[in-house]
Amino acid sequence: MTDAEYLRRPLKLSDAERCAEISTAVSFSAGAKELFRSRDMRNEWTEPRFDLSSSSLGVCSRNGRLLGYAVLFATEEPPVRPWFNWAVDPAHDAPGIRPALLSWAQDKAAAVIAQCPQEARVSLWGGAYQGLRPDESALQAAGFSAARVWHEMRIDMTESPASIELPAGFVTRPYRRVEDLPVLVDVVRDAFSDHYGHIEQSFDKDLELFRHWFDGSPYFDPDRVLLAVDEATGTVAGSVLPLIEYHRRPGVGYIDMVGVRRAYRRRGLASAMLRRSFADYWERGIRSVCLEVDGASLTNALALYERVGMRVSHSFVSYEKLLRDGVELAKVAVD
């Protein structure tokens, strides 16, 4: 790719429609058939502490049509695992666009090393649909290595799910949109502290991020949130966050988060809450439900979802490139 052939510029919020179109085309070419939406991209691009103009690159034809893009996120503190989203229009698959986007992402990520502790290991993360050779080959040629496989899991219900009782000693209660947001955030922070790659952030930062997504998402319905409470102590032990529908699959339900505090694991709470959510979707006329999971989850979440009847529908591979070796600050094993 030469500068004479293409233009480079930062993205603008008005590019969300075209970026969603490109990402949808990539998804269909990979067989995943996900429908990306511009409003979701704008919501992501306006997250707290993120600046689109300094953290994105669009590659355009000489007439200004966007052909590919990359967006780098390095908002965690410390940013030892910056990651980027990227896509190239399959209808204009020029050989130089992918290397240009990957080179830009590496240069931007290298600049954040100075924000990390001197002893910290720093690596850049990106990804590709499993089996999408143009993207996988470009990542490998740029020095990235496949590190994790993520699955979209799905259940297609043919009959009403059986009524499921929570384990003895636990009840559910309604979610209160204002009062319970800090409670929900606290549960998620505890439950996901054993998530691969987790880097603990301040409570206030997590609360701000949750509020941004809930306020800006048309899919969030507080009436669908399920809180499981320990009757003896009143502690919210676990939660499930079902969205109205999957943001990339109209008419399909989506479990955005399911989590149980570490002190309450292995009691059957997660599976019971999931089955209750399936039953709620059924009552609302939705027959299929999806979620996403790390294929090598440190807490064996994949096995949980298989037990409740979910199966892998397609997979996405996360690739990593080491920028600086050192002490790993992210969670990579369960204590």
Name residue, tokens 């709470």.
Answer: 269
Kindly report the backbone phi and psi dihedral angles of residue 239, in degrees, each rounded to the nearest multiple of 5, phi listed first: -150, 155
C-alpha span between 50 and 42 (Å, rounded): 12
- At the top level of CATH, the class of 154-314 is alpha beta
Residue 17, CA atoms < 13 Å, CB-side half-sphere: 2
pLDDT in tens, the chain (335 residues): 555 689 999 999 999 999 999 999 999 999 999 999 999 999 999 999 999 999 999 999 999 999 999 999 999 999 999 999 999 999 987 889 999 999 999 999 999 999 999 999 999 999 999 999 999 999 999 999 999 999 999 999 999 998 789 999 999 999 998 899 999 999 999 999 999 999 999 999 999 999 999 998 999 999 999 999 999 999 999 999 999 999 999 999 999 999 999 999 999 999 999 999 999 999 999 999 999 999 999 999 999 999 999 999 999 999 999 999 999 999 999 87
pLDDT of residue 109: 98
Domain boundaries, the chain: 6-143, 154-314
Q: Are 20 and 41 in contact (CB under 8 A)?
A: yes
**CB of 122 closer than 8 Å to CB of 328:** no
Same fold yes or no, 6-143 and 154-314: yes
Say if pTM beats, i.e. exceeds, 0.75: yes
The neighbouring-strand residues paired with 267 are: none
Fold of the domain built from segment(s) 6-143:
Aminopeptidase (3.40.630)
